Structure 1
Amino acid sequence: MQVLNRAHGALHYRVDGPDAAPVVVFANSLGTDLRLWDALLPLLPQGLRYLRYDKQGHGLSDLGQADSLQDHVDDAVALIRHVAQGPVVFVGLSIGGLIGQAVASQHPDLIRGLVLSNTAARLGTAQGWQDRIAAVRRDGLPAMADGVMQRWFGPDFRATSDLALWRNMLARTSAEGYVAACHALAGADQTQATAALDLPTAVIAGSEDGASPPDLVQATAALIKGASFDIIPGAGHLPCVETPVAHAAIIAPFLERHAR
């Protein structure tokens, strides 16, 4: 386990791969920690350095304020500068994809390519996120976990015993960390900035995604010059968990072309 000390406290991260190799950064979804990528990483190209981390208020990272997207962008930039020797490929899922879009827009020198999975330039509405915040504060995360699982995963995965692990990860997330990230999502709209991006980008959706439906994800792909777009059949919101082989089949060739 490794820690980057930030003004808000500890930012937990992990690096896998050879020293001095090109870096690929992974940013997680709401309500998950860096274990999100466990099944995917062994399927990706060797000889790269894979950096993943826990957002503020998630996993083993401390929570400061982190109620704006910019707070998360600043953490990602600090981590990239701390670990990488040069520009990175940024792989972001859900809110992680919003973070990646903003980092690429604000710091183009740090990003050589983007993989945007199950995300969009804007996710949900401000009112929808305020309603989510109210529900978490009223009832707690365990009470809403079953509904979230319906949006995260397709029916085949929900029928497996592995579902309990992801339900527990969500339910045991810090409520304040979750609420802070919801505040960040409520105010996040990267539409104009993302439309100005001009770098290699792969955009991925899941056909069964109830959180970021394929049409929403495809609309963001259409904003970015030259971006590819793929839908993984049968996958929900977390294809790196549910269909890691299919997810890797899209990401691995992108990394071979753009990470080195």
Structure 2
Amino acid sequence: MMTLINNRNGQQLAVYRFGDDTKPSIIFSNSLGTDHGMWQAQIDYFSKDYDVICYDTRGHGRSSVIENTTIIDLANDVLDVLNHFSIEKAHFCGISMGGVTGIQLGIIAPERFNSITIANSAAKIGNAEAWLSRADAVEQNGLADIVSTTHTRWFSEQFDYLHDVTAQKTIQSLSVTQPKGYAASCRALAQTDLRNQLGKIIVPCLALCGGLDPVTTVNDGEFLKQHIPDCQLAVIDASHLSNIERPVEFNKALLAFIQS
């Protein structure tokens, strides 16, 4: 069921809740250019035993487009969702941009999380010039060029994304993402480098990597493991959206971690 909530800036976030709200909570954070629907395999798997919360990151799905966004704003949106439902503490799992959001949450609000899973992500993704160039291009020309090539970054050649329902819906969600929302997130990523702050994170973390990921590599995960005081590493035989390409392995790794 979708709930529209206001964040601390009075802007709307679309939030979806599944399962039993008396059980431990897991909140999932989507990647750049997608929406909450990318987590369908995790919703199906975890909602039997957990209170599962997904949301559309600002500028994505049915959440408001908010320009001049920073990674701290993305982290605060998660805290606003938890506060709306009076959830004192939750497990967090974010992928790609959502993973960076999780790192920021570990730095500014460790007391709110039982665990943080940083999937297919890094403390710094790419370089500022490329992100800013992409943001400008998308605002001027739309997302068509990115949509046409995104499967090569999101999925490996061994994955039949054409016949996977969640993969197709996720590519569709990219095609309908508002260019200004996508661009705002690109600019947030351009200015994000959390490498020197990883030592502040006192929450147990899992760096969950795709062994075939060309965007955020296993080396990025190993860097997180080395610099976050309590961080495990798991590698799945998948590309960038490992939760869609290898949902069974992803779910098993996430479950084993949060149960530990």
Both structures adopt the same fold (TM-score exceeding 0.5): yes
SS at match of 1:52: strand
Q: Please give the TM-score of this superposition, normalised by the length of structure 2.
A: 0.92
Q: Please give the TM-score of this superposition, normalised by the length of structure 1.
A: 0.92
Cα drift, residue 66 of structure 1: 4.8
State whether residues 41 and 247 of structure 2, in contact with CA within 8 Å, keep that contact through their aligned partners in structure 1. yes
Structure 1: distance between partners of 2:253 and 2:208: 8
Identity, % of aligned positions: 27
Q: Report what 1:160 is aligned to.
A: 162
Cα drift, residue 159 of structure 1: 5.5
State whether residues 45 and 255 of structure 1, in contact with CA within 8 Å, keep that contact through their aligned partners in structure 2. no
Match of 2:133 among 126, 131, 145: 131
Match of 1:212 among 186, 209, 216: 216
State whether residues 40 and 241 of structure 1, in contact with CA within 8 Å, keep that contact through their aligned partners in structure 2. no
Q: Report what 1:119 is aligned to.
A: 121
Structure 2: runs of 5+ lacking an equivalent? none
The residue identity in structure 1 corresponding to 2:132 is Q
Cα drift, residue 227 of structure 1: 1.1
Cα drift, residue 148 of structure 1: 2.1
User: What are the superposed Cα offsets for residues 116-145 of structure 1, whole Å, 9 maximum, x if unpaired?
Assistant: 100011111111101211321343211122
Mean Cα displacement is larger for which, 92-101 or 210-219? 210-219
Cα drift, residue 208 of structure 1: 1.6
Cα drift, residue 23 of structure 1: 1.1
Structure 1: distance between partners of 2:10 and 2:183: 16
State whether residues 18 and 47 of structure 2, in contact with CA within 8 Å, keep that contact through their aligned partners in structure 1. no
SS at match of 2:192: coil
Q: Report what 1:252 is aligned to.
A: 255
Mean Cα displacement is larger for which, 122-131 or 156-165? 156-165
SS at match of 1:216: helix
Match of 1:241 among 241, 244, 254: 244
TM alignment of 1:77-96, pairs within 5 A: 77-96=79-98
Structure 1: distance between partners of 2:176 and 2:123: 28
Mean Cα displacement is larger for which, 100-109 or 153-162? 153-162
State whether residues 89 and 114 of structure 1, in contact with CA within 8 Å, keep that contact through their aligned partners in structure 2. yes
Q: Report what 1:98 is aligned to.
A: 100
The residue identity in structure 1 corresponding to 2:221 is V
SS at match of 1:97: helix
Structure 2: distance between partners of 1:8 and 1:124: 31
The residue identity in structure 2 corresponding to 1:59 is G
Q: RMSD across aligned C-alpha pairs, in angstroms?
A: 1.7
Q: Report what 1:35 is aligned to.
A: 37
Are 1:228 and 2:232 counterparts?
yes
Structure 1: runs of 5+ lacking an equivalent? none
